[in-house]
């Protein structure tokens, strides 16, 4: 399992996902920009905008290397200077308020043969939480996890609940999913090859799961009030990504490409002063489900 093999496989997964999403949207096509990073490496940024369903989205691949900045060395607790990192990162913002936002990341990070690991995850951010959709989503992730380790889903689901938490709002970003980092043979009992297979399997779970969820609701009628709520929820998404997201911070600290790093932000979001959901409303119900520790399966 070489760097080149990991890189080539992640690029293939990027291709598979962009093709599937273009078929889902039926109108818009991804625009690709090849870029190089000053300091080493580069990537393929693919952005879709103005589609039948996808208002804005990105399916990005990168493989970068170079000198690890001091703040990142301190955060990782390492003394190594040179790093290599590759992965696929996805965020989709639909134009329909009943279709959820989704995020995925699969990545590999290496300092040397002894210091290397995999990370990633998938999480769902519905503007309106449908319990049956949440169960479907989490069951799909559990099925993927269970093929590799009986503890993966429970541990990674709890990790996602903790990670995708907006502390200053006392709410989760969405209904969670799974999140993991620094997976190694020592921590999992699996080989690096098996952890890589898990990473790829998770990446290939993304498209069919999101397509199913999108098609459940994309033809439903919606009101202006629901659209307004969607924009408020997008604002919460922005708050998390700019204040807490580790990937955003890593990209900025390592002199990453700004447009690719911030592609996760929606084209439009709103902030309403001291917003209060109407008692008994669907909005209030959704807020009640944006909590850590909900067992969806």
Residues 65-98 as b/e (b if ≥16 CB within 10 A, e otherwise) read bbebbeeebeebeeeeeebbbbbbbbbbbbbbbb
Q: Is 168 a catalytic residue?
A: no
Per residue in 227-243, pLDDT (tens digit) is 999 999 999 999 999 99
- Residue 210 to residues 17, 197, 219, 239, 246, Cα–Cα distance (Å): 11, 21, 15, 23, 24
Residues 218, 165: Cα–Cα separation, whole Å? 27
Would you list the domain boundaries of the chain? 3-288
- Among candidates 154, 108, 105, 145, which has minimal Cα distance to 264? 105
- Among candidates 255, 120, 104, 278, which has minimal Cα distance to 195? 120
Task: Kindly name the residue from 5, 93, 96, 103 that is annotated as catalytic.
Answer: 103
Per residue in 176-195, pLDDT (tens digit) is 999 999 999 999 999 999 99
CATH class of the domain at 3-288: alpha beta
Q: Is the pLDDT of residue 245 over 90?
A: no
* pTM tops 0.85, yes or no: yes
Provide the CA 109 distance to its chain's centre, in angstroms.
17
């Amino acid at each position: 399992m070489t760097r080149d093999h990991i890189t080539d496989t992640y690029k293939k997964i990027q291709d598979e996902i962009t093709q599937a999403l273009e078929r889902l949207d039926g109108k818009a096509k991804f625009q690709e920009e090849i870029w190089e990073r000053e300091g080493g490496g580069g990537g393929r940024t693919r952005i879709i905008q103005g589609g039948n369903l996808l208002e804005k989205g990105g399916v990005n691949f990168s493989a970068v290397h170079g000198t690890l900045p001091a703040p990142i060395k301190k955060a990782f607790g390492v003394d190594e200077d040179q790093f290599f990192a590759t992965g696929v990162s996805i965020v989709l913002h639909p134009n329909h308020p009943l279709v959820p936002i989704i995020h995925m990341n699969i990545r590999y990070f290496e300092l040397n043969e002894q210091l290397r690991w995999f990370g990633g995850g998938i999480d769902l951010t519905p503007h309106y939480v449908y319990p049956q959709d949440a169960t479907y989503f989490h069951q799909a992730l559990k099925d993927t996890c269970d093929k590799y380790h009986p503890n993966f889903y429970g541990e990674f689901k709890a990790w996602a609940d903790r990670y995708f938490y907006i502390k200053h709002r006392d709410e989760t970003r969405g209904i969670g999913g799974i999140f993991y980092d620094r997976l190694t043979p020592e921590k999992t009992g699996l080989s690096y090859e098996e952890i890589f297979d898990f990473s790829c399997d998770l990446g290939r779970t993304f498209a069919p799961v999101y397509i199913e969820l999108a098609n459940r609701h994309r033809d439903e009628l919606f009101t202006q009030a629901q659209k307004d709520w969607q924009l408020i929820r997008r604002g919460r998404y922005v708050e998390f990504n700019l204040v807490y997201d580790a990937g955003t911070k890593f990209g900025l600290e390592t002199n990453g490409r700004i447009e690719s790093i911030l592609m996760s932000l929606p084209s439009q979001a709103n902030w309403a002063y001291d917003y209060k959901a109407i008692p008994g409303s669907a909005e209030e119900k959704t807020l009640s489900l944006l909590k850590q520790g909900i067992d969806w399966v």
